Structure 1
């Protein structure tokens, strides 16, 4: 998978959501903030030549899909949440070749002074 670094990518970083995902009862009851970072693998050749939004993926549509996927179901694990979002994105946007997602919990119920709990996943179409 190292060849992904040499391909075209769209980045959407720091998407902020409030949700009720988690294993702990407090997480399900009180909720918490989440941050989501995306890397979207897409061939940008046509878009760069035509300057036409129809040749790429509209970032607003990506955000709306992530928001919908984030809110439509509660997950115990951020791993499952991340995978769910990947599946929804690849299902919605035919131009996507792969998706890398990082789901971050800045306020995870852990005894850490600073930092956050996070997962990162990379999936291609044939991996979902």
Structure 2
């Protein structure tokens, strides 16, 4: 049995981007994350150590967006997914959707997003 904690709408201002103005001026990013884990013990005992304190997830995401200066958002989303997996041995899989809000592309008012799913077993192999 696998349960899922959804943490949505994490927004932070960062400097990741391919274009020079993205790295100099920055832009807003938004992250939605799903963390798969078994919460049954935490539900029975009400022990936060048996689950994930999602405040840590929010801090991890915000700090990576604010402090990183990657060229590609592909690298940023990968760093976020791997850092979330590192935060707790309870997490078996994570899905991260990173959106670049108001991407500086001429005549485009939409959002660019990347969706990655990483598992603990894949993370252990890549370390």
TM over 0.5: yes
Q: Which runs of 5+ in 1 are unaligned?
A: 1-5
Counterpart selection for 1:103 from 92, 95, 98: 98
Greater shift, 8-17 or 61-70, is seen at 61-70
Task: Give the match's secondary structure for 1:127.
Answer: helix
Greater shift, 34-43 or 49-58, is seen at 49-58
Q: Which runs of 5+ in 2 are unaligned?
A: none
Q: Which residue of 1 is the match for residue 108 of structure 2?
A: 112
- Per the TM alignment, residue 89 of structure 1 is displaced from its structure 2 partner at its CA by 1.4
RMSD: 1.4
Matched, 1:61 2:56: yes
Matched, 1:29 2:24: yes
Superposition TM-score, scaled by structure 2 size: 0.89
Q: Could you tell me whether the CA contact under 8 Å between 2:29 and 2:65 is conserved in 1?
A: no
Runs of 4+, deviation exceeding 6 Å:
none
Superposition TM-score, scaled by structure 1 size: 0.88
Q: Could you tell me whether the CA contact under 8 Å between 2:85 and 2:93 is conserved in 1?
A: yes
Aligned residues: 122
